Structure 1
């Protein structure tokens, strides 16, 4: 029988980040395949294609998007919070020949970095710590422009060591 999960989890942190990003980008539009469109936000992976790529050149495409990936965690000691590394993988689309699609990716990165500078607490319980890193890809992938933001998030430590508590 599996032990009941109590307290805050890394999955809760990931979902809270998704909710925070949806709110942050709610009213923003970016270059899409058929004009401006909203940013899609995915949990852990981009959905697998279910057709023969008929949607790749339409606004039904999954791009532009942010993939919120929970990649690792660490608990340093009994008293400190769990640290969860969330990677925000950003992909924008721009078919123009001037190859300026990286600008949308860069603007999304800046919006994220500035947002968490002003409001490091999200989901009422989680906190974005330091260091905060970002990177723009220089890979040549026609029309697709990639970037990444690595955020170390603190998950509140609300659990107590039951064995120690029983001795007290």
Structure 2
């Protein structure tokens, strides 16, 4: 359950970080960033669009040795939309990734419990999917240890 709490805390951070910003949407209007945990929701209508969006995805977790810290790798999938002929929609995706990177570097502890460790890696999708643009960021977080259940019996 601990990684799910991290994921929920990260969602609140992302929503707060972009609360005042709007991006181009497929319907032609500007709208706030949608933030989803793990997957996109099922479409209610055929033309429903989640863009612009960030998906916060739990990738993997664990530790190498018993004495190592418990870590969870979390990915951020960014999707933006831009129909302009100059094909510069990738800029919104980079902007979002950069704001996330800056936020996590400046405030590496989330929810008073989870701490950013290791590198932050990001990249853009190389395939041309115009008018959709994608980027991803992978982060690693130290998460609290599970409590031992057998200690009481040993005392």
TM-score normalized by the length of structure 2: 0.91
The alpha carbon displacement at 1:166 in A equals: 2.6
Aligned residue among 59, 76, 83 for 1:95: 83
1:65 aligns with 2:53: yes
- In structure 2, C-alpha distance between the alignment counterparts of 1:12 and 1:52, rounded to whole Å: 32
1:21 aligns with 2:14: yes
Alignment check: 8 A CA contact 1:80 1:157 kept: no
1:145 aligns with 2:145: no
- In structure 1, C-alpha distance between the alignment counterparts of 2:151 and 2:64, rounded to whole Å: 18
Consecutive unaligned residues of structure 2, counting only runs of 5 or more, are none
Match of 2:35 in 1: 41
**Cα RMSD (Å) of the superposition?**
1.6
Match of 1:163 in 2: 150
Match of 2:46 in 1: 52
- In structure 2, C-alpha distance between the alignment counterparts of 1:26 and 1:86, rounded to whole Å: 21
Match of 1:9 in 2: 2
- In structure 2, C-alpha distance between the alignment counterparts of 1:132 and 1:38, rounded to whole Å: 25
Alignment check: 8 A CA contact 1:20 1:123 kept: no
- In structure 1, C-alpha distance between the alignment counterparts of 2:45 and 2:5, rounded to whole Å: 32
The alpha carbon displacement at 1:163 in A equals: 2.5
The alpha carbon displacement at 1:167 in A equals: 1.8
Q: Give SS of 2:136's match.
A: strand
1:83 aligns with 2:71: yes
Aligned residue among 96, 100, 116 for 1:128: 116
Alignment check: 8 A CA contact 1:135 1:148 kept: yes
- In structure 2, C-alpha distance between the alignment counterparts of 1:121 and 1:13, rounded to whole Å: 11
The alpha carbon displacement at 1:93 in A equals: 0.4
- In structure 2, C-alpha distance between the alignment counterparts of 1:18 and 1:43, rounded to whole Å: 7
Alignment check: 8 A CA contact 1:43 1:68 kept: yes
Per-residue CA deviations over 1:112-164 (Å, capped at 9, x if unaligned) read: 111111000111211111111001111111210000010101112252x3324
